[in-house]
Amino acid sequence: MSRWEPNTRVRLLDAALDLFGERGYDSVTVAEIAERAGLTKRTFFRHFADKREVLFAGQEVLSRLFADAITNAPASATPMEAVAAALTAATAPIAERRERSRQVQSVVAGHTDLRERELLKLATLRAAMAGALRDRGVADPTATLAAEIGGLAFSTGFARWVAPGSERQFAELVREALDELVAATATLG
């Protein structure tokens, strides 16, 4: 096994998803994932804390994308316009991975502890948006509410995108979900 192979994280994710699909999540060990990827167990742990984290690879990148897009939105942007910019920026790195995302979602959906982990990761994304909005001078509860709506739009769009038979673009589905949520808030009166 070469110690400096390229695309280590991707190889580990691909190996994990293959094994989870073949034998089920609970029956697969970190050592087996590393072996399938042609890497060592030690290399696995350099990239991921445990096998659950393989399924949530990229969350840190998404948090940074959300925050950076909000920070870089025009000064005249409303909080929801800044959130919309964040959602647009965050869809780009995911958009080409529909099949992989479907595989991950299938594994996550079948395990309560993974669904809980997913909710924690989504909370981190919402916190990144809320923090960036506050840094722009948006006061609470507006910053928190805008981030919560953005997080819900992201989750809703993602669920629609990975649904069986879905062929629409991720960015389009997220924007549609955001528009629906903003319209719904107007009816709360």
Domain limits, the chain:
8-54, 59-186
List b or e across 3-22, with b for residues whose CB sees 16 or more CB atoms inside 10 angstroms. eeeeebeebbbbbbbebbee
pLDDT digits (tens, 9 = 90+) for 172-183: 999 999 999 999
pLDDT digits (tens, 9 = 90+) for 125-171: 999 999 999 999 999 999 999 999 999 999 999 999 999 999 999 99
Instruction: State the pLDDT at residue 59.
Output: 80
- Which CATH number is 59-186's, of 3.30.590.10, 2.60.40.420, 1.10.357.10, 3.40.50.300? 1.10.357.10
Q: State pTM to two decimals.
A: 0.87
On the question of pLDDT at 4 being above 90, the answer is no
- Which CATH number is 8-54's, of 2.60.120.10, 1.10.10.60, 3.40.50.2300, 1.10.3720.10? 1.10.10.60
pLDDT digits (tens, 9 = 90+) for 76-104: 999 999 999 999 988 887 877 888 899 99
101 or 2, greater pLDDT: 101
